[in-house]
């Protein structure tokens, strides 16, 4: 797997946190944030693949690691999900996702994670990994 750290951040997703997503403590439930991280990571992965000029292939999430919840997320927070490429493998791509909110005129890092996706080919119920790039 090639290490290709990138300083190129991509705004993959923005979302407003709503009351329906709160936990018993009144903050946003961590599982909701994880779901958005997964979506943003996939959008970021497809963005990277487009930059390579490669055809889009179906991808599935195979792992999420280094998830760190730095600060609580509150109802009404507008979250920005920034992504950048961490690694490219033959069949996989790993994306770093950083979640920020603007509070009192300052950007605050709330959460971050690395998410790995694998390109797949489906035949009926069978799925097998395939190369991300056609090279």
pLDDT value for 133? 84
pLDDT by 10-residue block (mean), the chain, 135 residues: 62 97 95 98 96 90 95 96 96 98 92 97 91 81
pLDDT value for 2? 47
Q: Has domain 2-129 been given CATH number 3.10.129.10?
A: yes
Domain boundaries, given as residue ranges, for the chain: 2-129
pLDDT value for 120? 96
**CB of 100 within 8 A of CB of 110?**
yes
Model pTM score: 0.90
């Amino acid at each position: 797997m090639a290490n290709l750290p990138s300083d190129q951040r991509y705004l993959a997703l923005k979302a407003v946190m709503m009351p329906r997503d709160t936990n018993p403590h009144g903050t946003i439930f961590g599982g909701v944030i994880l779901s958005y991280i997964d979506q943003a990571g996939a959008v970021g992965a497809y963005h990277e693949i487009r930059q390579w000029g490669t055809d889009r292939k179906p991808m599935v999430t195979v792992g999420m690691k280094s998830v760190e919840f730095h600060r609580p997320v509150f109802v009404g927070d507008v979250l920005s999900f920034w992504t950048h490429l961490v690694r490219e493998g033959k069949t996989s791509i790993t994306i770093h996702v950083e979640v920020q909110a603007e509070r009192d005129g300052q950007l605050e890092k709330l959460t971050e994670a690395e998410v790995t996706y694998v390109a797949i080919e489906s035949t009926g119920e069978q799925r097998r990994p395939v190369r991300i790039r056609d090279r």
